[in-house]
Chain A
Amino acid sequence: EDQVTQSPEALRLQEGESSSLNCSYTVSGLRGLFWYRQDPGKGPEFLFTLYSAGEEKEKERLKATLTKKESFLHITAPKPEDSATYLCAVRAGGYQKVTFGIGTKLQVIP
């Protein structure tokens, strides 16, 4: 069974304080690892897809990296508008099925 574990569950940062969110996964035949952002009362919004170990992708203050067992979402000099829940998901095996982690709730304080 595919498993996705995210840590920490919640993270509180001062504005400008860089940090990383972790997503560890156990799957049979990874076909893609996804990061989504979810704001309160809204559906998740796509950020990145990573396919293979060593791959990195960046968008503004966010950078996602992938190893064979985990992915990191690095947040550099965060701003209050980065506050959201960040979800990690994997697609493996039966490729239509995407398994999500519980998410990390990030709060950035001015």
Chain B
Amino acid sequence: DVKVTQSSRYLVKRTGEKVFLECVQDMDHENMFWYRQDPGLGLRLIYFSYDVKMKEKGDIPEGYSVSREKKERFSLILESASTNQTSMYLCASSLDRAPNEKLFFGSGTQLSVL
């Protein structure tokens, strides 16, 4: 089975801190995604990447950046954390660009920014 691993299950940070969320997939998938999930808003796409060193903005990229130096690893960076970035962050991957490709999700990182 595909495994998508997120480095932290829970994270507490202070306003203004730089935050790194790490995600690793073990099945050589081309595409990787970062979503945030908030009550009443559902999952919203922050950034995605379809190849090493490639990135595309999703619906809500403001305040975030990403890095994909290796195919298996996709990092989400909060340059200066703010309280409105408190959320559940979900990483996902998919095999290739075919439109029917399903997403495989990690278990999520619950980030609290105080």
**Chain A: residues with CB nearer than 8 A to chain B?**
31-32, 34, 36, 41-46, 49, 51, 87, 89, 91, 95-103
Contacts and interface: CB of A to CB of B under 8 A. Distances in A.
A42 B104 CA distance: 12
Contact of A97 (B58, B102, B105): B58
B97 A95 contact: yes
Top-8 shortest CB links A-B: A43-B105, A31-B99, A102-B42, A100-B43, A46-B102, A95-B99, A100-B42, A44-B105
Given A43-B107, A51-B100, A102-B42, 11 more contacts: A32-B99, A34-B102, A34-B103, A42-B107, A43-B4, A44-B103, A45-B105, A46-B102, A46-B103, A96-B48, A100-B44
A97 B43 CA distance: 12
B68 to A, nearest CB: 14
Contacts of B31: 96
A60 B45 CA distance: 30
Nearest to A97: B45
A98 B107 contact: no
B92 interface: yes
- Which of A36, A100, A103 has its CB near the most chain B CB atoms (within 10 A)? A100
A101 B45 CA distance: 12
B54 to A, nearest CB: 11
B77 to A, nearest CB: 20
B63 to A, nearest CB: 19
